[in-house]
Each structure stands twice: as structure tokens, then as C-alpha cells.
Amino acid sequence: MTAPPREQEEERREHDAEAALRAFFGIAALWELSTDEQIKLLGSPPRSTFFKWKKEGGALSNDTVERLSHILNIHKCLQILFTDDGASDGWIRRPNQAPFLNGISAIDYMTETGHVADVFKVRSYLDAQRGG
């Protein structure tokens, strides 16, 4: 007997969110993000929630799922734009002359306010740079 479609959709969403969280923590390690930077990128959940997510996953808000989508896309864009892993992973911390960054790094820009719009702006910029 299969689960009703609504339950199947919810199970798929939870599985996708857990996979996105695992991917995020892998990217955070590559980018050498501090705990505070990770928390801000995820929408400033309580620290206890953050550490629970890191250890065992858990329910995510739509805002957090959106943020994860943007971060995964940023990572993908950087992998396309730079053939060297060190260059792609280091880009996030390097000062940048993109018009909206004005010489600061993308990670500083995305975590300054913690707004999802700032993460989306970096994603959009990189999408445009790769021709997407």
C-alpha cells in the first residue's frame, strides 16, 4: 500500500531538505564559514536549532529552504566559473568589485544583514556571470 499523494509529497520535501542541509554543511566547510556565518546564511535560527540541524537534520521553514537553494546555486555557479576548486571556494571571501559589493567579499555582503534578498543578489550576479 502506498502513502497518499500528500504524504508522499511531504516525505519527498523532507528528504530534499535534509539533502540540501547536508550539502550546505559540506559547502560551509569548503568555504571555511564560521558558525555565525552559517547561522546568518540559514536565516538566523536559534543556535540550538542550528546544531540540531547539523547533527540530525530537522524541519526547515520555507525561508531556510529558499536560502539553501540560493547557496547551492552559488556554489554551482562558482564551480562553473572557475576551473580550480581553490579559486571557486576562495571567491566567496575575496574582496569583489561587483557594483553592489563595492570591494567587500560576497560572504560579508550576504551576512551583514542576514536578509535572504542579499543572498539572492549574489546568486543572481553569479547566474548572470555564467550566462544563466
Percent over 70 (pLDDT), the chain? 97
Q: Which amino acid is at 49?
A: T
Handedness of CA 65, 25, 104, 78 (dihedral sign): negative
Q: Which residue has the higher pLDDT, 5 or 120?
A: 120
pLDDT at 1 over 70: no
Residue 8 pLDDT grade (very low, low, confident, very high; cuts 50, 70, 90): confident
pLDDT at 2 over 70: no
Q: Which amino acid is at 21?
A: L
* pLDDT value for 41: 97
Helix axis angle for 62-81 and 5-30, nearest 10°, is 50
pTM score, whole prediction: 0.89
